[in-house]
Structure 1
């Protein structure tokens, strides 16, 4: 009976291992974008001469970039960007690419698959501005200095953009969001000068390093999201790439000048600055490395489990077992995202080699079996140790910045495999 159970577990082990390895090497699939604004922008003539009445109308309008600082909900931690058009009548219309609808058909299925469909909507700007102020968020508005022809063409594009067939787009956190849509609009309106200027300036870091600054105030949540994302977000960026963050976009717009020395920003207004009030987390201007903190946590967790094991061996088995169940659940989520979702930032994730559903095997060993027979934690520990050595000596293996994941897991895996080996020796 025991032998048959071992064969069953071994078979399951091999099947899941093959499945995990196939997920590690998954080939991303192209997903159709319902409305690609860059393609539509490329069709517009931003140099087309204006009639006298059009020129007079444009002189009485203005286009501004509004930047809102982080809010309390998770989706608001990175801030927000929108464009505001002030018409000759004095009415201010906000164009906002950050709208999603929970009542959308198949919303939760699309969310699970990584297909987040967002909308651009036009609304009266005054109440939206007041809403952000009431939420005690930073609010900054800069009026943009565009040539008359570009301003007129841009407003026509915005009006077309809110029609039903042009209003929906496939959201991507890094490549296509409320800030990147505006970034591209500004680039076309400046005849490519904006991207030419920003693209030659190196960024501070990668997508992972930049987003860390907005997430690190919640270390546990950051670790989970950090673990689920692969080396795809670890490439070095230029300044144009980093403008997926609203605050980065605001600063780039403020810094940019045309070739003739004219500034893009005509006027700047700070409607609310909460930096001195300590209402919520602040985002630092400099990148900070927090690897040491996760190594300290990983070692402390292993030490705590070790001390528990000395005094309460039964409690040790339960603690390790429940921990493995939780990690197996996280590994299952990672496997699902790699195989069944369109979240390309999870593809080619080497964490799947030691964080996957197979952790249910040591969980079963700790919680159910009296004899600790699983060696899976020892294998995972060996994989992580080999990866650490390769990352140190072979730069090609350091493409994925997952040291924080390894830092938390490795000490506990080593301790768990040691307990299992000791238990096996005691049972013989």
Structure 2
């Protein structure tokens, strides 16, 4: 009697344990689904901008009459836009912009934004939270230009044409910028960087004509597509950064928006003409052109899509996993475990950025619905070769298929350009879900 009672108690305990585990898994699934919905409702938080140059520029009088000595000084002073091409470090892939002031004495002062100091207090914590405090600095231009030449980067100068009054006000503004209370600002890769700061200064000095012209010149690209051209030479890094960014960077740009890229600013300055027919660019001087040297990647002149390459890569990996599952299931399990572990880490990072950081380009990101922390469950299951009853991968496959169908039927709603993400992961996740199903059927 006691033996039967003990067996009954044991079975009840086992059932209770199984139900509890399933409830925990169900709660985790619901949590993963609900947290993104909370993240989707995020309203960008009000973040204090230590120095908003657009606001400061609105208070500058670019038409103030000059005194005779000021006019004589400004006649002998030139302003150049300096554009430096891509470099080797990741932060230099997009190039750099600066303004160079040549004074009557012959001295050349370079003013540039986008300068960061990794030794500043809480730099890495602020970076993780999307609060990147960068600087504007003034330095001797000759050695800075030579430094870029020695790094074998493209170096170009454009002499800018401004009315005397605007020219003097612009230089005065730059001198004010380097004072400590104005030198630090909150950096944003797309909206407030080394190039956009100069774009806004040029616009103010042209009385708003530069912005009016550029905003009436639409382009055929988006922030995501234009950034891709400078990053696609490293497909893995681009894919990871592409994954982390949501739909906010998938709207069509005008030329003013596109000038977050130094090269786009350079070309726009060459193309702009004042209403009276005067060119903004007086002369262009190319100090170094590395296009034919083969030193590093070159940015395609016309936008190129690489969706097909990621699709073929995903298909090849998926077929490989299916083939391994027939002859070497343990090896397939280890490979899947590694892939899913990396995806789970990436999903956890995205969830953190969506929920807690100020990196607004990660908000409204549909990728969290199929790449999320729950992928740790099948990752560790495959690693230890245990039977898996979780439907995490099957759910992710279903979400990806739904998003693909949604892009075809309702493109106005499914605007996020995550086709590269889905094309790479769908065959891989599908091979894992079929592996689960076969092992589960054997276990039963």
TM-score scaled by structure 1? 0.98
CA displacement, residues 263-310 of structure 1 (integer Å, 9 cap, x when unaligned): 111121100001010100000111111111111011011011112222
Match of 1:49 in 2: 65
Match of 2:110 in 1: 94
Match of 2:74 in 1: 58
SS in structure 2 at match of 1:196: helix
User: What is the aligned counterpart of 2:217 among 192, 201, 213?
Assistant: 201
Contact 1:365 1:374 in 2 (8 A): no
Contact 1:63 1:83 in 2 (8 A): yes
Q: Which runs of 4+ in 1 moved over 4 A?
A: none
2:414 equivalent to 1:398 = yes
Contact 2:387 2:443 in 1 (8 A): yes
Match of 1:17 in 2: 33
User: What is the aligned counterpart of 1:220 among 229, 236, 250?
Assistant: 236
Contact 1:96 1:121 in 2 (8 A): yes
Structure 1 residue 203 displacement after superposition: 1.6
Contact 1:62 1:86 in 2 (8 A): yes
2:307 equivalent to 1:291 = yes
Match of 1:186 in 2: 202
Structure 1 residue 369 displacement after superposition: 5.8
Contact 2:343 2:375 in 1 (8 A): yes
Match of 2:294 in 1: 278
CA distance in 2, matches of 1:376, 1:12: 11
Structure 1 residue 411 displacement after superposition: 0.8
User: What is the aligned counterpart of 1:256 among 231, 249, 272?
Assistant: 272
RMSD: 1.2
Match of 1:133 in 2: 149
CA distance in 2, matches of 1:128, 1:78: 18
Structure 1: where are the runs of 5+ without partners? Answer: none
User: What is the aligned counterpart of 1:148 among 156, 164, 175?
Assistant: 164
Match of 1:340 in 2: 356
In the alignment of these two chains, the number of paired residues is 428
Structure 2: where are the runs of 5+ without partners? Answer: 1-13
CA displacement, residues 249-272 of structure 1 (integer Å, 9 cap, x when unaligned): 000001111111111111211000
Stretch deviating more after TM superposition (26-35 or 237-246): 26-35
CA displacement, residues 211-270 of structure 1 (integer Å, 9 cap, x when unaligned): 000000001111000010000000111011100000000000011111111111112110
* Structure showing greater Rg: 2
CA distance in 2, matches of 1:279, 1:313: 44
Superposed, which structure 2 residues align to 1:289-368 within 5 Å?
A: 289-368=305-384
Contact 2:333 2:385 in 1 (8 A): no
Contact 1:20 1:335 in 2 (8 A): yes
CA displacement, residues 97-152 of structure 1 (integer Å, 9 cap, x when unaligned): 02100111110100000111110000010000000000000000011011000000
Structure 1 residue 10 displacement after superposition: 3.1
CA distance in 2, matches of 1:304, 1:397: 34
CA displacement, residues 314-352 of structure 1 (integer Å, 9 cap, x when unaligned): 111111122111100000000011011100000000001
Stretch deviating more after TM superposition (406-415 or 369-378): 369-378
